[in-house]
Amino acid sequence: MNRDAVDLFCGCGGLSLGLAAAGFDVVAGVDAWKPAIDVYRLNNPGHKSIQFDLSDEARTASLVRSHNPFLVAGGPPCQDFSSAGDRIEGLRADLTVKFARVIAKTKPPAFLMENVPRASLSEAYKTATRIFRKAGYGITARVVDAAFCGVPQTRKRLFMIGMLGENDGFLEHDLSKKVIEGKPRTIRQHFGKSLPFEHYYRHPRTYGSRAIFSVDEPSATIRGVNRPLPSTYRKHHLDSTDPGPEVRALTHIERALIQTFPESYIWPPESQMKKAVMEQMIGNAVPVRLAATVAGALYEYAESKETPGADDPPIEEALSLGNFFAIAAE
């Protein structure tokens, strides 16, 4: 059975890793941003890593057709929808519509699109939904918090999953089974006893916001900006401790691990890539375990349609990505 997948807007590879962990065979990753595709290529030598402008619909559709995938996945850039941005729809929002048109032109059996929750309020998202439905796709759309998917981070993302010939909401039951019920995962649970710190600094979006967090809670959303604790910082009433020399920003490796990239993932040294560029691509990535949770529900649904009663794919085994990924004892 064809379970090939093409990852458009692949960035440095978080979504692709999640797709692979869920059982899909990723055959190509595509992105316009050279630094991200360089990192992607470094870590994914087994399939094509392609750099080109995904606003070129005809070329993108041709590439998708050449691979004849079961699944086309992607997270069109979300800055135009983000609460951190100016909230004006522009060229990036247009990529959401172009992604939908590529799906409608190529008709893969399934697609998966990821974005920030507020994207659902945009005209681009509404237009894309109409395009998908007109092309014959049943749609399941749901906001999922990564902290309930084995990721030690509060990160809510909107997923739209479509399959040809299905009814809307077709994946709700399977997806609900995958999302862990109970308390969200904390940093301490994720890293275990290897943590060298108890509190850390995360640069706030606005002045007057909390900036110091404890490892006994999920990380705040990993963003593209990562700055050191300013010497002028004054404690916020919600900070987990007082600012001091023991409080520091997370390293890019720690941030990548919180995004549930494996320890073995290769990140170029700062002599080869600017730190700000590295931080941005890590912050932009889809957490691996979040992607695996959503993609795993789709994989199992597709398997059940073709082979009723088939065993579940070994997602947990596939997600055993080193000591940092072991489930800590409660």
pLDDT in tens, the chain (330 residues): 799 999 999 999 999 999 999 999 999 999 999 999 999 999 999 999 999 999 999 999 999 999 999 999 999 986 554 444 444 445 556 899 999 999 999 999 999 999 999 999 999 999 999 999 999 999 999 999 999 999 999 999 999 999 999 999 999 999 999 998 788 999 999 999 888 999 999 999 888 899 999 999 999 999 999 999 999 999 999 999 999 999 999 999 999 999 999 999 999 998 889 999 999 999 999 999 999 999 999 999 999 988 755 444 444 444 443 333 333 333
CB atoms within 10 A of CB 106: 21
DSSP E strands, the chain: 4-8, 25-31, 48-51, 71-74, 110-115, 137-145, 156-164, 199-201, 212-214, 248-249
Q: Residue 14: its pLDDT value, please?
A: 98
Q: Residue 294: its pLDDT value, please?
A: 98
Per 3-state DSSP, what percentage of the chain is helix, strand, and coil (rounded to 5)? 40, 15, 45
Q: Residue 93: its pLDDT value, please?
A: 64
Domains contained in the chain, CATH given: 4-182+285-325 (3.40.50.150)
- Are 159 and 141 a contacting pair, CB within 8 Å? yes
Whether 10 is catalytic:
no
CA 105 to chain centre: 25
Q: Is 111 exposed, middle or buried (0-12, 13-18, 19+ CB in 10 A)?
A: buried
Quote the tokens at residue 176.
Answer: 């609900």
CA 178 to chain centre: 16
- Are 27 and 47 a contacting pair, CB within 8 Å? yes
Closest CA to 22 of 255, 303, 218: 303
Phi-psi sector, 120: left (phi>0), alpha (psi -120 to 50), beta: alpha
Q: State how far the Cα of 58 lies from the Cα of 169, in Å rounded to an integer.
A: 30
Q: Residue 181: its pLDDT value, please?
A: 79
The residue assigned the tokens 């890539």 is 273
Residues 6 or more apart whose Cβ sits within 8 Å of residue 122? 80, 81, 89, 93, 96
Q: Residue 322: its pLDDT value, please?
A: 38
- Catalytic choice (10, 12, 78, 149): 78
Q: Residue 319: its pLDDT value, please?
A: 47
Q: Residue 328: its pLDDT value, please?
A: 32
**7 beta partners:** 29, 73
Q: At what angle do helices 14-22 and 288-306 cross, to 10 degrees?
A: 40
Closest CA to 216 of 239, 240, 188, 192: 188
Q: Residue 69: its pLDDT value, please?
A: 98
